[in-house]
Amino acid sequence: MAAPPHVAGLFIYPVKSCRGIALQRAHITEYGFAFDRWWMVVNDKGRMLTQRQAPKLALVETALPPEAIEEGAWKPLPPDAALSLKAPGMGPLQISLATLNSGGGFLSRVFGTSTLPRLVEASVWEWAGQALDEGDDAAAWFSDYLDRPCRLVRFAPDVNKRDVDPTYASGYTTQFTDGFPYLVASEPSLAALNASLEQPLPMNRFRPNIVVDGCQPFDEDTWATVSVRSPGGGTGVTFRGVKPCSRCKVTTTDQATAEVGKEPLVTLGKIRHGKQLELPRPLQGGVYFGMNMVADALTSGQSSATVGVGDVAEVVTQLPVGVHMAQIHSAAAAS
């Protein structure tokens, strides 16, 4: 019997569209991995700024203190704990992790403080709400680097709720992701794509949270339920595949240089188009790589559930070939 797939990589992206951080173990929250897309750069109207409009964001390095990564932010962090940012031609920027609270909820549990920063309007795609402004120094840093007026904001879960599209996953939430708390992609899928490209691309073009190995190419398309657990056994974290991930121009940005090309979108259009995959009509105009997922581990932000590199990713429920999660959800919504 073949060994089940396993987790080969874990990544968080603290600031939306900026460089990610590779982890050995990631903490689950009700919004996704701890610290994943908790911050976002916005323009002067509060609208998200991403690599779609500003490819240079790919060069902004992010770092978190070890205690934040190890504890997953479930214990109050030291007063000097900070998110550290670096970018070419810029001095370092420190964003305090101890300046959040909005009335004794999630933020005060995490950061153990009673200071409330200014709330500002912010939006991601169709969602709009209030976010915590990180101040004029951060705004000046990003405005100077991107050569346009912008500000850095942090999601405020005590005053906002951003639901995942209920068509695909009712009852789940996320923060500043494009739409879903987890993105899963596999090494065999990347190898299959690279076999069709003149120049192979690294996985960071697709900015996944969980990279899986030990499966067949594009198997993740049909993963309805996956249990991720320690190789030694024990209780796992249940992930549910909810929607194939449509890919945009961010994938054409070299994450090491910020140079923009045409691939992999041209090739994905030939081998991974929505029509070829027989996805529901609303999804047929896109190209796809990876699977958006939600996790069933949490009912409370106080859970300490984690997943780690090397964990077994046991596929509990797999759809038949040619059937996709989007078709299942589309049919359910129409009934």
Instruction: Dump pLDDT digits (tens) for 158-204.
Output: 889 999 999 999 999 999 999 999 999 999 999 999 999 999 999 99
Return the minimum-mean-pLDDT range out of 68-82, 149-163, 188-202, 282-296.
68-82
Please, which pLDDT band fits residue 134 given cuts at 50, 70 and 90? Answer: very high
Structure confidence at residue 297 (pLDDT): 64
What does the block give as tokens for 186? 């596999």
The residue with tokens 């029509």 is 275
Assess whether pLDDT exceeds 80 at residue 279.
Answer: yes
Give the β-pairing of 119-124 and 25-29.
unpaired
Which among 72, 80, 95 has a CA at the least distance from the CA of 10? Answer: 72
Assess whether pLDDT exceeds 70 at residue 96.
Answer: yes
Q: Tell me the pLDDT of the chain averaged across its residues.
A: 89
Structure confidence at residue 38 (pLDDT): 97
Please, which pLDDT band fits residue 79 given cuts at 50, 70 and 90? Answer: confident
Task: Answer whether 37's CB lies under 8 Å from 124's CB.
Answer: no
> Where exactly are the structural domains of the chain?
12-160, 166-334
**CA 230, chain centre distance (Å):** 22
Q: What percent of the chain has pLDDT over 70?
A: 85
For 36-53, the pLDDT digits (tens) are 999 999 999 999 999 999
Structure confidence at residue 300 (pLDDT): 42
Taking the CB of residue 155, how many other CB atoms lie within 10 A of it? 24
Return the minimum-mean-pLDDT range out of 174-178, 255-259, 279-283.
279-283
Distance in angstroms (rounded) separating the CA atoms of residues 63 and 82: 9
Q: Of residues 243 and 106, which shows the higher confidence score?
A: 243
Dihedral sign of CA atoms 29, 32, 33, 39 in order: negative
**CA 97, chain centre distance (Å):** 20
Assess whether pLDDT exceeds 70 at residue 333.
Answer: no
Task: Answer whether 180's CB lies under 8 Å from 169's CB.
Answer: yes
Distance in angstroms (rounded) separating the CA atoms of residues 322 and 333: 20
Please, which pLDDT band fits residue 295 given cuts at 50, 70 and 90? Answer: very high
**What dotted CATH number matches 166-334?**
2.40.33
Mean pLDDT, residues 125-129 taken together = 97
Dihedral sign of CA atoms 190, 194, 197, 200 in order: positive
Structure confidence at residue 1 (pLDDT): 62
Structure confidence at residue 71 (pLDDT): 66
Q: Of residues 2 and 153, which shows the higher confidence score?
A: 153
Return the minimum-mean-pLDDT range out of 9-13, 234-238, 291-295.
234-238
Structure confidence at residue 173 (pLDDT): 96
Task: Answer whether 308's CB lies under 8 Å from 7's CB.
Answer: yes
Task: Answer whether 318's CB lies under 8 Å from 215's CB.
Answer: no
Structure confidence at residue 201 (pLDDT): 99
Distance in angstroms (rounded) separating the CA atoms of residues 218 and 58: 26
Structure confidence at residue 78 (pLDDT): 82
Which among 258, 261, 208, 265 has a CA at the least distance from the CA of 58? Answer: 258
For 193-235, the pLDDT digits (tens) are 999 999 999 999 999 999 999 999 999 999 999 999 999 877 8
Give the β-pairing of 182-186 and 150-155.
unpaired
